[in-house]
């Protein structure tokens, strides 16, 4: 009996130690989140309700929530355009990335790693440089432009740069790896035997894709579309470099408000609104695609 | 479009079936007939071509040459989804995103069958898992997943059911139980089963006919008892159970039996049980057929003297002896512990004897160790 109680006492002690350890391990992350996520958000929210003070760049806290209303009303066109461009770019990226990821996952054999490196390779050069390169490619002397005129898809008199087309093309290109990699990793995880089993059970190639491959790759589709849509919706570089005044996105407005007009409250209100809007859309999307039980 | 799935039936005939990959031939000119309604096992070590053969029948692998018929229907180049063949895959390959019910219903829905619910319920009853219909595959145990994989295949009433190492992932006890259940299901529904395995015990327990495969060819085909009692090659003699194979030369050739000289001692081999092509012969005897007795006592039948016990393992129902013969070879003896005599000891000088009728003869040019090192080989 004494022996038993001694043992249970000992395990109690180690239990206590063990239950304390996870919090200790979480601590660095929590500290990081506090200083670099929670604090900035709170600063952002508090800035968003300020009004201009005496000097330039000085603002007083007046809890003016009408800042939000003003900001949204003035920039609603850019808001909708951002979501529109980001949606189109996401769909385009999905259409391009799915066959690519599928080929890498199932058909590439020993070239698999090389192809994966090629998908990531553009990241080795700067985002800005790559976007400027598209300006060249789509410009009147660029190979992209010449190729499209050669195919008679566009006339030599037309122009592709400084257009909505160029902005969406830039967004699609820049976020393509964010779509391809999650798709690849979720396709690669599928047991090829489940596809064979589908064929064995009277499903042709198309039905196998529709009933087995696509549903099993849904976690990748959801992750890829989120990773593309979220940064694309907030992006301003593509619209800045490849667009014109009529293709401004919400990112450009925030950028201008903050750096050029030095109107911090409006920039903060727009940023926070964008964040909340994306959060709501993402939540609805995940609910709808019902992937919680899949992953 | 999927008419073949109902119309084609009959014996399965593989003719000169060959599958070559870039650097090796997996299946080499295979010809065999699988009778309708039989439980047929393709048995062999990993890499012997048995799985490739199965995949060619399923349509998952294109044969390099040869043909596959079910009855009079040529299915050699038919798409897998058009074949009246279903497969129970190794590791089951259940659809993880679908419920058990939908997994089983998959084939029926693809063929546009009407009474899906009724048929699925019936087959889930057959495998005794109707209460799991709404679960997902990953919520099931290995044994349950295995039964669902069988249910998903047999619900389609294929002309032929292929089983690719179906019990490999289960533990020993569950495997034994599933062996009996699979055999029962096969008898119950009367489909033709082709079962691929590297486990000789599994093949012997379930199959009516076993084809032993080695290096892309069939070594020997027959009933389990026939293969065990009359092996025709050293590979079969060693891969199915254990054998003592002793090199010798035929001295005289009688009408009933051969007299063989084994390192100076003469034994009789029934003529009908010998597949020796010339005077060089491998004399085979199963370890449990050997009797072991002290050197001093007399022995009848075929007798080999001069053995020394090297090792004794007492295993309850039997005792295993390892005996060193005068010519340097070690022989295995399994002795039932049913005579009340205490086991002999290590170092004892003994005489081995057996009924001549149990002796088999193999061609002397064969490698006496072929297949023995693969005996307990596990796939993958």
Same domain (yes/no): A125, A219: yes
From B96's Cα to the closest Cα of chain A, the distance in A is: 8
Three-class SS string for B113-126? CCCHHHHHHHHHHH
A158 in a structural domain: yes
Residue A70, domain member (yes or no) = no
Decide if A193 touches B, using CB distance below 8 A: yes
The string of pLDDT tens digits covering residues A47-81 is: 998 888 887 778 888 888 888 898 888 888 899 99
- A161 & A246 share domain: yes
Please, what is the angle between helix B100-110 and helix B116-126, to 10°?
Answer: 130
How far apart are the CA of A200 and the nearest CA of chain B, in angstroms? 5
| Chain A residues close to B85, C-beta within 8 Å | 200
> What region, left, alpha or beta, does residue A219 occupy, with left being phi > 0 and alpha being psi -120 to 50 degrees?
alpha
Same-domain status, A40 and A140: no
Our count of domains for chain A comes to 2
Q: What is the pLDDT of residues A76-107, one digit of tens each?
A: 889 999 999 999 999 999 999 999 999 999 99
Tell me the pLDDT tens digit for each residue of A185-243: 999 999 999 999 999 999 999 999 999 999 999 999 999 999 999 999 999 999 889 98
Q: What is the pLDDT of residue A2?
A: 44
Residue B345 has what pLDDT?
87
A17 and A129 together in one domain: no
* A198 contact residues in B (CB cutoff 8 A): 95, 106
Structural domain contains residue A237: yes
CA A194 to chain CA mean position, Å: 31
CB distance A193–B58 less than 8 Å? no
- Using the predicted structure, report yes or no on whether residue A7 has a pLDDT greater than 80: no
Chain A: residue nearest B57 by CA? A200
Task: Please judge whether A191 and B97 are an interchain contact, meaning their C-beta atoms are less than 8 angstroms apart.
Answer: no
Bridge partners of B39, per DSSP, are B193
Interchain proximity A211–B96, CB inside 8 Å? no
Contacts of A202 in chain B (CB under 8 A): 2, 5, 81-82, 107, 110-111, 156
Decide if domain B242-364 falls under CATH 2.40.50.140: yes
Residues A25 and A132 in one domain: no
Domain-by-domain residue ranges, chain B?
A: 4-229, 242-364
> Which CATH number belongs to the domain containing residue A209 in this structure?
1.10.3720.10
Flag whether pLDDT at A15 surpasses 80.
no
Q: What is the pLDDT of residue B370?
A: 84
A:B CB pairs within 8 Å? 67
In A, minimum Cα distance to B90 occurs at: A193
Q: How many CA atoms lie within 13 A of B189 on its CB side?
A: 23
Which among A193, A202, A294 has the least Cβ separation from residue B93? A193
Asked whether residue A120 falls in the same domain as residue A248, the answer is yes
Interface residues of B toward A, Cβ cutoff 8 Å, are 2, 5, 58-60, 79-82, 85-87, 89-91, 93-97, 106-107, 110-111, 152-153, 156
Rg (CA), chain A: 25
List pLDDT tens digits, range B57-100. Answer: 999 999 999 999 998 899 999 999 999 999 999 889 999 999 99
Shared domain check, A38 and A84:
no
Interface test with B, best of A110, A190, A199, A201 (most B CBs within 10 A): A201
Q: Which of A191, A201, A218 sits opposite B110 (nearest CB)?
A: A201
Residues A27, A170 within the same domain: no
A14 and A149 in a single domain? The answer is: no
The percent of residues in chain A predicted with pLDDT above 70, rounded, is: 92
Residues of A in contact with B5 (CB under 8 A): 202
Structural domain includes residue A44: yes
- Packing angle, helices B116-126 and B142-154, rounded to 10: 130
CB contact under 8 A, A193 and B91: yes
Verify whether the Cβ–Cβ distance B97 to A216 is below 8 Å: yes
pLDDT at A140: 77
Is residue A60 situated within a structural domain?
no
Positions of chain B with pLDDT lower than 70, given as ranges: 1-8, 373-380
pTM strictly above 0.90: no
CB under 8 Å to A241, separation ≥6 — which residues?
Answer: A128, A131, A132, A134, A135, A170
Nearest CB neighbour to B110, from listed A196, A202, A216:
A202
Q: Are residue A96 and residue A19 in the same domain, yes or no?
A: no
Q: Between residues A288 and A131, which one has the greater pLDDT?
A: A131
Residues in chain B: 380
Q: What is the pLDDT of residue A14?
A: 58
- Please report the pLDDT score of residue B344 as a whole number: 84
Residues A145 and A32 reside in one and the same domain: no
Asked if the C-beta of A38 comes within 8 angstroms of chain B's C-beta atoms, the answer is no
pLDDT value at position A22? 85
Q: For residue A220, what are the domain limits?
A: 75-289
Task: Note whether residue A222 is domain-resident.
Answer: yes
Rg for chain B, CA atoms, rounded: 24
pLDDT value of residue B4:
46
Option in A196, A201, A216 nearest B106 (CB): A201
Q: Do B4-229 and B242-364 have matching folds?
A: no
Ranges A22-31, A35-44, A156-165: which has the least confidence: A156-165
Report which of residues B380 and A29 the model is more confident about: A29
**Which chain A residue has the Cα nearest residue B152?**
A201
Q: Are residues A12 and A126 in the same domain?
A: no
B4-229: CATH, from 3.40.50.1970, 3.40.50.300, 1.10.3720.10, 2.60.120.10: 3.40.50.300
**In this complex, is the C-beta atom of A44 within 8 Å of any C-beta atom belonging to chain B?**
no
């Amino acid at each position: 009996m004494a022996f038993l109680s001694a043992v249970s006492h000992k395990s109690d002690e180690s239990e206590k130690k063990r239950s304390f350890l996870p919090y200790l391990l979480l601590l660095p992350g929590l500290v990081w989140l506090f200083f670099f996520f929670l604090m900035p958000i709170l600063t952002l929210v508090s800035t968003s309700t300020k009004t201009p003070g005496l000097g330039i760049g000085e603002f007083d806290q007046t809890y003016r929530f009408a800042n939000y209303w003003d900001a949204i009303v003035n920039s609603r066109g850019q808001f909708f355009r951002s979501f529109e461009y980001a949606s189109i770019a996401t769909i385009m990226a999905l259409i391009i990335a799915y066959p690519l990821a599928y080929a890498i996952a199932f058909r590439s054999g020993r070239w698999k790693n090389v192809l994966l490196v090629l998908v990531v390779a553009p990241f080795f050069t700067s985002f800005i440089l790559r976007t400027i390169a598209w300006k060249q490619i789509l410009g009147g002397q660029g190979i992209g432009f010449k190729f499209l005129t050669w195919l008679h898809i566009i006339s030599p008199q037309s122009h592709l740069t400084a257009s909505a087309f160029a902005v969406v093309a830039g967004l699609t290109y820049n976020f393509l790896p964010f779509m391809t990699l999650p798709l690849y990793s979720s396709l690669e995880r599928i047991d090829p035997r489940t596809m064979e089993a589908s064929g064995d059970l009277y499903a042709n190639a198309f039905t196998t894709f529709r009933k087995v491959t696509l549903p099993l790759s849904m976690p990748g589709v959801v992750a890829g579309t989120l990773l593309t849509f979220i940064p694309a919706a907030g992006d301003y570089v593509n619209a800045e470099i490849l667009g014109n005044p009529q293709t401004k996105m919400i990112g450009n407005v925030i950028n201008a408000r903050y750096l050029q007009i030095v109107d911090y409250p409006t920039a903060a209100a727009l940023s926070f609104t964008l964040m909340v809007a994306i959060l709501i859309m993402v939540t609805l999307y995940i609910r709808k695609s019902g992937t919680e039980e899949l992953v | 479009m999927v008419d073949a799935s109902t119309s084609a039936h009959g014996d399965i005939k593989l003719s000169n079936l060959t599958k070559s990959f870039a650097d090796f031939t997996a299946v080499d000119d295979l010809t065999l007939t699988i009778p309708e309604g039989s439980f047929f096992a393709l048995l062999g070590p990993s890499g012997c071509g048995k799985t490739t053969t199965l995949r060619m029948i399923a349509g998952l692998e294109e044969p390099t040459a040869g043909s596959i018929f079910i009855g009079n229907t040529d299915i050699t180049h038919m798409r897998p989804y058009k074949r009246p063949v279903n497969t129970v895959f190794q590791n089951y390959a259940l659809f993880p995103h679908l419920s058990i019910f939908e997994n089983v219903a998959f084939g029926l829905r693809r063929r546009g069958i009407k009474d899906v619910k009724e048929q699925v319920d019936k087959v889930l009853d057959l495998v005794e898992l109707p209460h799991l219909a709404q679960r997902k595959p990953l919520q099931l145990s290995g044994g349950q997943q295995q039964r669902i994989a069988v249910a998903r295949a047999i619900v389609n009433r294929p002309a032929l059911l292929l089983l690719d190492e179906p019990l490999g992932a289960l533990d020993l006890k569950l495997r034994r139980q599933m062996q009996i259940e699979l055999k029962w299901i096969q008898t119950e529904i009367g489909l033709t089963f082709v079962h691929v395995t590297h486990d000789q015990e599994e093949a012997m327990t379930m199959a009516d006919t076993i084809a032993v495969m080695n290096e892309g060819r069939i070594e020997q085909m027959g009933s389990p008892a026939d293969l065990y009692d009359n092996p025709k090659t050293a590979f079969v003699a060693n891969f199915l159970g254990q054998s003592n194979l002793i090199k010798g030369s035929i001295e005289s050739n009688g009408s009933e039996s051969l007299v063989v000289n084994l390192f100076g001692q003469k034994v009789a081999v029934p003529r009908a049980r010998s597949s020796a092509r010339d005077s060089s012969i491998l004399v085979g005897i199963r370890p449990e057929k050997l009797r072991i007795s002290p050197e001093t006592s007399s022995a009848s039948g075929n007798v080999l003297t001069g053995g020394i016990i090297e090792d004794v393992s007492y295993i309850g129902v039997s005792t295993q002896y390892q005996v060193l013969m005068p010519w340097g070879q070690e022989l295995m003896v399994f002795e039932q512990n049913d005579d009340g005599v205490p086991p002999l000891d290590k170092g004892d000088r003994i005489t081995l004897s057996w009924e001549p009728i149990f002796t088999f003869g193999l061609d002397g040019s064969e490698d006496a160790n072929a297949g023995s090192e693969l005996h307990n080989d596990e796939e993958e």
